[in-house]
């Protein structure tokens, strides 16, 4: 069979400002929490490589756009760095940032690549974090001003906007499992942070629509289908449902339906940790839902009824309600420890079609991080990443199946365009269609998967 995708399907990749641009001295960027955390605790970062050492897109974007063309992109997502545009998070604007994003956006468009722009990719400006970050309602106002400024500056050309990338991740990383700054363990704080992210998203959507800019605004969520160990065991099913409420529906429901999931609200009420809110907020969230949903998919979540004793050390945790289930025989990416389960992408798209009004959506990230890819470099200098081609093909077949059944999936973006710096893992795992050589001015070479992807995009499908 030839897997033929719909006309005008979006083929491309995703990246983020903080992971690719590079700081560059004298450009006026303010610190964000990653700059700060690295200064405080470099040992937390793989090989002690921090956010200053990136693929240097700030300098090299023009030739990078040519590489995107050579790898079949008709669209590409990155993010504006809040702390580049507003070095203090609010207040004075940095004109050099405006200039940079202007030329970057124009270069993409001039080369036939539609820019998709995300506003927040884990990069809280330090000056705002110093006042509590997302825990503080003032951050919501600062964000809404930042978002509106971006729409006014770039919205004449950028027609696809996203309020957040994976808003659950700063909640989990910063306030539950300690892989983002401020690395607390406090469910009440986590809930407040998540609530403010959702409120900020609704406010940005309101501002965007009010400007009548003839584009769409959405949110990008990492959805992890939550599978019970035994689908015939009610306790397992219940556990999986609770995990789904905490990690998927917590953001998906307010973003698409304008309402928080009742079962999650009941749990938080029971624990007396509902967030602080203003009475008018809920109507605002109800009235300002997304036009478009970006779905990042890497792995499912396998869950069983709680069997291990509840750990009370840090107060309540989502983990009090379920145990993760280590399914025997599952396929795992050994470098990241994430299960590889291509069918999950079909289950998500089907869920969106059946339970979320078949909202327009697209796969906004999917990919495979591999350590030590240099060993696959052939004598001609190309990295032969057949495992990545197989991974993408497996997932695309399930996207195709969902499309056949009526899914409104509009595109597929890989994580990522070129190997990039990734939070505390830095350069350990490489995800790109294009390799970079960190020791030689980040020299770029297209991987085998990059050429393969170009062929798929050109043919709008594959055999």
Long-range contacts of 311-318 (CB under 8 A, 24+ apart): 314/185, 314/186, 315/186, 315/187, 315/188, 316/187, 316/271, 316/273, 317/176, 317/185, 317/187, 318/176, 318/187, 318/242, 318/243, 318/246, 318/247
Q: Does 50 bind ligand BGP (CB under 6 A)?
A: no
The CB-of-3 to ligand BGP minimum distance in angstroms stands at 25
Phi-psi region of 261 (alpha: psi -120 to 50; beta: other; left: phi over 0): beta
Residue 288 contacts ligand BGP per CB under 6 A: no
Determine the interface stretch with ligand BGP among 49-57, 245-253, 421-429, 455-463 (rule: CB under 6 A). 421-429
Residues 141-160, mask of contacts with ligand BGP (x by CB under 6 A) = --------------------
* Site for ligand BGP contains 165 (CB under 6 A): yes
402 and 409 in contact (C-beta within 8 Å)? yes
* Residues 6 or more apart in contact with residue 423 via CB below 8 angstroms: 19, 34, 122, 179, 180
For 390-397, which contacts have Cβ atoms below 8 Å and span 24 or more sequence positions?
A: 391/340, 391/342, 391/367, 392/366, 392/367, 392/449, 392/453, 393/462, 394/342, 395/297, 395/342, 395/345, 395/363, 395/366, 396/3, 396/456, 396/462, 397/3, 397/342
Q: Which of 249, 302, 304, 336 forms a contact with ligand BGP (CB under 6 A)?
A: 336
Q: What is the number of other CB atoms lying within 10 angstroms of the CB of residue 337? A: 8
* 222 is an interface residue for ligand BGP by CB under 6 A: yes
Per-residue binding string, ligand BGP, 310-329, x by CB under 6 A, is: --------------------
**Residue whose CB is less far from ligand BGP, 213 or 392:** 392
- Is residue 186 a contact partner of residue 264, using CB atoms and an 8 Å limit? no
Shortest distance in whole angstroms from residue 150 CB to ligand BGP? 19
CB atoms within 10 A of CB 25: 8
Give the nearest distance from C-beta 420 to ligand BGP in angstroms.
8
**Residue from 114, 172, 365, 373 carrying the catalytic annotation:** 365
C-beta closer to ligand BGP: residue 137 or 336 = 336
Short-list 423, 454, 451, CA closest to 435: 451
In the region spanning residues 14 to 43, those forming contacts with ligand BGP, defined by CB under 6 A, are: 16, 19
Residue 28 C-beta: closest distance to ligand BGP, Å: 24
DSSP helix/strand/coil, 3: strand
User: Is 166 an interacting residue with respect to ligand BGP (CB under 6 A)?
Assistant: yes
Binding mask 423-452 for ligand BGP (x = CB under 6 A): x-x---x-----------------------
Does 178 help bind ligand BGP (rule: CB under 6 A)?
no
94 is a contact residue toward ligand BGP (CB under 6 A): no
Let me know if 21 is a catalytic residue: no
Q: Is 422 in the site for ligand BGP (CB under 6 A)?
A: yes
The residues carrying an active-site annotation are 365
Q: Which residues bind ligand BGP (CB under 6 A)?
A: 16, 19, 165-166, 169, 222, 296, 336, 365, 369, 415, 422-423, 425, 429
């Amino acid at each position: 069979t030839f897997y033929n995708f719909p006309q005008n399907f979006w083929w491309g990749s995703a990246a983020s400002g903080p992971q690719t641009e590079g700081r560059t001295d004298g450009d006026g960027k303010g610190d964000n929490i990653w700059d700060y955390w690295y200064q405080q605790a470099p040992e937390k970062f793989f090989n002690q490589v921090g956010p200053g050492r990136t693929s240097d897109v700030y300098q090299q974007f023009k030739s990078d756009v040519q590489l995107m063309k050579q790898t079949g992109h008709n669209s590409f997502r990155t993010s504006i760095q809040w702390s580049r545009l507003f070095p203090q998070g609010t207040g004075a604007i940095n004109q050099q940032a405006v200039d940079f994003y202007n030329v970057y956006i124009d270069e993409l468009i001039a080369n036939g690549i539609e820019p998709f722009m995300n506003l927040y990719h884990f990069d809280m400006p330090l000056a705002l974090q110093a006042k509590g970050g997302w825990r503080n309602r003032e951050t919501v106002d600062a964000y809404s001003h930042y978002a509106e400024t971006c729409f006014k500056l770039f919205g004449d050309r950028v027609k696809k906007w996203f309020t957040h990338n994976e808003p659950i991740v700063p909640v989990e990383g910063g306030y539950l499992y300690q892989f983002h700054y401020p690395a607390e363990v406090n469910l009440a704080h986590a809930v407040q942070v998540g609530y403010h992210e959702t409120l900020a998203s609704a406010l940005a959507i309101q501002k965007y629509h009010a400007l009548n800019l003839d584009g769409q605004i959405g949110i990008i969520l990492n959805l992890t289908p939550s599978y019970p160990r035994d689908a015939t065991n009610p306790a397992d099913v219940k556990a999986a449902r609770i995990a789904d409420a905490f990690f998927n529906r917590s953001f998906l429901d307010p973003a698409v339906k304008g309402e928080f999931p009742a079962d999650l609200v009941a749990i938080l009420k029971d624990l007396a940790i509902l967030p602080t809110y203003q009475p008018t907020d809920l109507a605002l969230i109800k009235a300002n839902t997304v036009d478009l949903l970006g779905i990042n998919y890497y792995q499912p979540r396998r869950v069983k009824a709680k069997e291990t004793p509840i750990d009370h050390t840090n107060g309540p945790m989502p983990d009090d309600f379920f145990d993760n289930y280590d399914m025997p025989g599952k396929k795992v990416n050994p470098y990241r420890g994430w299960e590889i389960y291509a069918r999950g992408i079909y289950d998500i798209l089907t869920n969106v079609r059946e339970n979320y009004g078949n909202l327009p959506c697209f796969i906004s990230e999917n990919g495979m991080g591999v350590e030590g890819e240099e060993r696959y470099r052939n004598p001609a200098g190309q990295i032969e990443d057949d495992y990545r081609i197989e991974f993408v093909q497996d997932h695309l077949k399930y996207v195709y199946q969902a499309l056949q059944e009526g899914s409104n999936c509009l595109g597929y973006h890989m994580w990522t365009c070129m190997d990039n710096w990734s939070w505390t893992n830095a350069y350990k795992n490489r995800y790109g269609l294009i390799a970079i050589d960190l020791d030689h001015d980040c020299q770029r070479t297209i991987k085998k998967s990059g050429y393969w992807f170009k062929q798929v995009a050109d043919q709008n499908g594959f055999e």
